[in-house]
């Protein structure tokens, strides 16, 4: 029997529900109908997801009497660019999509970010629904309203805050996700435990292997808990003027690695975040802020589930500490030349710091990478 739970992202007039459960795609018509002004949607998806799950969504919409058109884009990060963005907007207008109509993003973070950004500007803003199909998208990118595209200057540099009207996280679709993608998404799950929820981290220590080996019950709980943590943080700081930045735990290091390796299949975003979180704990320990016990415990859990915690774990080329530190200085969250680091006092105790000397970071990285 299918099970679902509902969370709310408490953002006043922009508040919305996140439904987490099994077989939600089959029920999508009845779940979506209450937030439609008229029974008409445009689905945006990618070729891989379309081959696996689009038919189920279309059948469900048919059953509910909701008209639909689909735009199917190539899979992969390269689709999140100006070219596809322009093409998507024109195709949505070709369909005659009006301001009161709805865009449905069916896919991973690439589709959610691109379709959400298109929704934010089309006819000066139309509503959209997120139906995330990767673990990363279910626990992170579909919630919180960050939308955007990449440019030649870097990732996610053009975009908008545009909250969805509804998120349907159907954990059944994770069954078709390649294991490496599932694991990469799991890094963002662990992140919630490590940054502010020690109890959840302890649950993951007992059940994390169930999540990554496909247990429906464990996956439902992990998605629900992650979304609850993210919903709370976003409701308190929608535009990231404060604590929302804690969600970047591991990301400054991870992003520097992604730039160094060159965005692509050799290092997935979630893998970079896992290595980056280990570095954030390691740097915090080196600064005397976090116990070695907690740093080792965080690293041990990630290793146990199969996540990389060092560039060598993925057979990446040797990384140079000075080069990585230089990439961090280019981070888009740099203010007045100082990088904002997410550091930790322990598991579940992250905080923001702009007091770390670049030389200290470089020395720590050199000790880890040499
Ligand atoms: P993705 O969208 O590229 O999906 C990964 C791959 O999995 C793709 O090839 C896709 O076709 C395939 N796929 C998706 N669902 C599937 C399924 N159920 N079965 C089989 N294959 C499936 O990548 P992602 O990891 O979901 O998202 C990464 C993107 O998310 C990045 O662009 C990143 O910047 C963005 N992101 C955004 C936020 C935010 O807050 N907006 C947060 C984190 C990441
Ligand atoms: N993924 C970080 C955020 O949503 O703020």
Query: CB within 8 A of 368, min separation 6: which ones?
Result: 279, 282, 310, 321
Give the model confidence (pLDDT) of 88-127 as tens digits: 999 999 999 999 999 999 999 999 999 999 999 999 999 9
Query: With a 6 A CB cut-off, is 144 part of the ligand 2 pocket?
Result: yes
Give CA torsion, residues 165, 160, 143, 172, to 10 deg: 80
Q: Which residues line ligand 1 (CB under 6 A)?
A: 46, 48-49, 52, 75-77, 80, 107-111, 113, 133-134, 136-137, 140-141, 144, 146, 155-156, 173, 176-177, 181, 269
- State phi, psi for 153 to the nearest 5 degrees: -85, -15
Q: Whose CA is nearest to atom 44 of ligand 1?
A: 141
What confidence score (pLDDT) does residue 1 get? 58
Nearest atom within ligand 1 for CA of residue 270: 25
Query: With a 6 A CB cut-off, is 244 part of the ligand 2 pocket?
Result: yes
Nearest atom within ligand 2 for CA of residue 247: 2
Active site residue 152: no
What confidence score (pLDDT) does residue 178 get? 97
CA 155 to chain centre: 13
- Helix H, strand E, coil C: the string for the chain is CCCEEEEEECCHHHCEEEEEECCCHHHHHHHHHHHCCCCEEEEEEEHHHHHHHHHHHHHHHHHCCCEEEEEEECCCHHHCCHHHHHHHHHHHHHCCCCCCCEEEEEECHHHHHHHHHHHHHHHHCCEEEEEECCHHHHHHHCCCCEEEEEECCEEEEEEEECCCCEEEEEHHHHHHCCHHHHHHHHHHHHHHHHHHCHHHHHHHHHHHHHHHCCCHHHHHHHHHHHHHHHHHHHHHCCCCCCHHHHHHCCHHHHHHHHHHHCCECCECHHHHHHHHHHHHHHHHHHCCCCCHHHHHHHHHHHHHHCCCCCHHHHCCCCCCHHHHHHHHHCCCCCECCECCEEEECCCCCEEEECCCCHHHHHHHHHHHHC
What confidence score (pLDDT) does residue 153 get? 83
Phi-psi region of 145 (alpha: psi -120 to 50; beta: other; left: phi over 0): left
Give the model confidence (pLDDT) of 261-295 as tens digits: 987 889 999 999 999 999 999 999 999 999 999 99
Q: Read off the tokens for 106.
A: 């069916």
Cα distances (Å, whole numbers) of residue 365 to 282, 283, 321: 9, 8, 5
Q: Read off the tokens for 138.
A: 């279910």
Q: What is the pTM of this model?
A: 0.97
What the chain holds in terms of domains, given with CATH numbers, is 4-175 (3.40.50.1970), 179-369 (1.20.1090.10)
Q: Read off the tokens for 16.
A: 């919305």
d(Cα 31, Cα 360) in Å, to the nearest integer?
51
Query: With a 6 A CB cut-off, is 269 part of the ligand 2 pocket?
Result: no
What confidence score (pLDDT) does residue 332 get? 66
Query: CB within 8 A of 251, min separation 6: which ones?
Result: 273, 276, 342
What confidence score (pLDDT) does residue 125 get? 97
Query: With a 6 A CB cut-off, is 247 part of the ligand 2 pocket?
Result: yes
Query: With a 6 A CB cut-off, is 140 part of the ligand 2 pocket?
Result: yes
Pairing of strands 146-151, 154-161: antiparallel
Q: Give mean pLDDT in consecutive 10-residue pieces for the chain, a chain of 370 residues.
A: 89 98 97 97 98 98 98 96 98 95 98 98 98 98 97 91 98 98 98 98 98 97 98 98 96 94 90 98 98 98 98 93 90 77 98 93 94
What confidence score (pLDDT) does residue 2 get? 72
Q: Name the residue of 161, 247, 255 whose CB sits within 8 Å of the most ligand 2 atoms, as the mutation to test its pocket.
A: 247
């Amino acid at each position: 029997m299918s099970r679902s739970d509902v969370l709310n992202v408490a953002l006043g007039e922009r508040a919305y529900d996140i439904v987490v459960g099994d077989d939600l795609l089959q029920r999508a018509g009845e779940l979506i109908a209450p937030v439609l002004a008229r029974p008409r949607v445009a689905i945006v998806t990618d070729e891989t997801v379309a081959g696996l799950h689009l038919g189920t969504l279309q059948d469900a919409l048919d059953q509910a009497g909701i008209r639909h058109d689909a735009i199917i884009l190539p899979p992969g990060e390269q689709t999140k660019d100006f070219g596809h963005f322009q093409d998507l907007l024109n195709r949505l207008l070709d369909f005659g999509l009006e301001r009161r109509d709805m865009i449905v993003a069916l896919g991973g973070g690439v589709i959610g970010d691109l379709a959400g950004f298109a929704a934010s500007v089309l006819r000066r803003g139309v509503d959209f629904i997120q139906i995330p199909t990767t673990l990363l998208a279910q626990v992170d990118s579909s919630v919180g309203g960050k939308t955007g595209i990449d440019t030649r200057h870097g990732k996610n540099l053009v975009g908008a805050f545009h909250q969805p009207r509804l998120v349907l996280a159907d954990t059944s679709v994770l069954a078709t996700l390649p294991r490496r993608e599932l694991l990469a998404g799991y890094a963002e799950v662990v992140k919630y435990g490590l940054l502010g929820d020690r109890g959840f981290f302890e649950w993951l220590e007992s059940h994390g292997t169930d999540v990554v080996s496909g247990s429906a019950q464990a996956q439902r709980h992990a998605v629900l808990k992650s979304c609850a943590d993210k919903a709370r943080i976003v409701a308190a700081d929608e535009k990231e003027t404060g604590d929302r930045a804690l969600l970047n735990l591991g990301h400054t290091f991870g992003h520097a690695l992604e730039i160094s390796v060159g965005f692509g299949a050799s290092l997935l975003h979630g893998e970079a975040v896992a290595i980056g979180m280990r570095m954030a704990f390691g740097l915090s320990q080196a600064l005397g802020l976090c116990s070695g016990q907690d740093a080792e415990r965080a690293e041990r859990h990630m290793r146990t589930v199969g996540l990389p915690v060092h560039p060598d774990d993925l057979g990446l080329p040797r990384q140079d500490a000075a080069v990585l530190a230089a990439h961090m200085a280019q981070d888009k969250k740099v203010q007045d030349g100082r990088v904002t680091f997410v550091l930790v006092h322990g598991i579940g105790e992250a905080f923001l710091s702009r007091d770390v000397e670049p030389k200290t970071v470089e020395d720590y990285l050199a000790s880890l990478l040499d």
